[in-house]
Amino acid sequence: MQTFLFAILLSLGAGMAQADVVVIVSAKSAVGELSKAQVADIFLGKSATFPGGVQAVPVDQAEGSSQRDAFHGHITGKSGAQLKSYWSKLVFSGKGTPPKELPNAAEVKKLVAANPNMIGYIDKGDADGSVKVVLAP
């Protein structure tokens, strides 16, 4: 019984952690609020632009990171394995290139803050004046 309750508490904690991941662009960017579908399309290579036609360059966190798993699970609907398979097919067929991966949220925030064309995701608590939150799922 204790194992069952522990499993329930862990799953609730994972759901709360997922809610703390926000999608960001540079504070200098003209991009406003984005929908979940727009963000998913950018991160899955289905769209290369923000609304208005400005180039969008997605930046992913390292494979296996809890923020990456939460982001993709909620936004793209893909697990780590599904995402790897998705990009393998596109790369093999010459139809796409996965987003650049950075080792952690601090590096994502630093790069996104410096480039108005970039889009990434970080923990809500890490957002500051250098970036603008465009989606808080």
Residue-wise pLDDT tens digits, 26-36: 999 999 999 99
Which residue, 116, 22, 77, is CA-closest to 69? 77
Q: Are 23 and 39 in contact (CB under 8 A)?
A: yes
Residue-range domains of the chain with CATH = 2-135 (3.40.190.10)
Q: Mean of the pLDDT values across residues 5-27?
A: 62
pTM: 0.85
